[in-house]
Amino acid sequence: MDNLTTCDRCGSDACYVQEVNNEIKNYMCYGCGFVTNSLMKKGEKFFEEQFEILPELYKELMGEDEKGKIWMPNTVNMHNKGMVFADGTRASNWMWAAVKAVPMPEDEREKFKIKGKDYKWKMDMETMKHFPESDFMDALDYIGVFNREQ
């Protein structure tokens, strides 16, 4: 069952909950831009595995809610739209970064075909725009997530 609920991290009413099975639920808040799931708790193997591979900024920004779920910034990567991610050097000076996807030039596509992939889009870092922590939805809007075209 999928539904919207109140976010246990920020209190926003725009937290999307997706039930994977009877034991696992995913939580993605459009209000604060943070994500978690039922397995993101201290002592859970899944959490420990995730923690090992995360960038330092994401580790610093993690926080535990009253129910014990650990929330971290979301990274949205839509191959034909763009990418939104937490950007900064420390938890005290970070923002959301949004980068638009652009069609990959044919000569660059050829390089990836050699590696067995055929990419049609790439992230154009020159389109990077930063948004305050409270403006996650504006960052998503910038890359066209809410645009039904493409």
Task: Give the pLDDT confidence of 60-77 residue by residue, as tens digits.
Answer: 999 999 999 999 999 999
Average pLDDT over residues 2-21: 93
Lowest mean pLDDT among 42-46, 49-53, 111-115, 131-135: 111-115
Q: Are residues 80 and 69 both part of a single domain?
A: no
Average pLDDT over residues 17-21: 94
Of the residues 24, 41, 73, the one at which a domain ends: 73
Of the residues 24, 47, 73, the one at which a domain ends: 73
Number of domains in the chain: 2
Residue 9 lies in a domain: yes
Residues ≥6 apart with Cβ < 8 Å to 55:
none
Domain of 133, in residue numbers: 76-142
Residue 147 lies in a domain: no
Reported as a pLDDT band with limits 50, 70 and 90, residue 150 is low
Of the residues 73, 91, 119, the one at which a domain ends: 73
Q: Are residues 68 and 81 both part of a single domain?
A: no
Q: Are residues 10 and 40 both part of a single domain?
A: yes
For residue 53, pLDDT beyond 60: yes
Q: Are residues 113 and 65 both part of a single domain?
A: no
For residue 149, pLDDT beyond 90: no
- Mean pLDDT rounded to a whole number for the chain: 92
Q: Are residues 6 and 63 both part of a single domain?
A: yes
Q: Are residues 109 and 47 both part of a single domain?
A: no
Is the four-CA dihedral 35, 38, 40, 45 of positive or negative sign? negative
Residues ≥6 apart with Cβ < 8 Å to 64:
42, 70, 71
Reported as a pLDDT band with limits 50, 70 and 90, residue 47 is very high
Residue 149 lies in a domain: no
Q: Are residues 57 and 104 both part of a single domain?
A: no
Tell me the C-alpha distance between 136 and 124, whole Å: 19
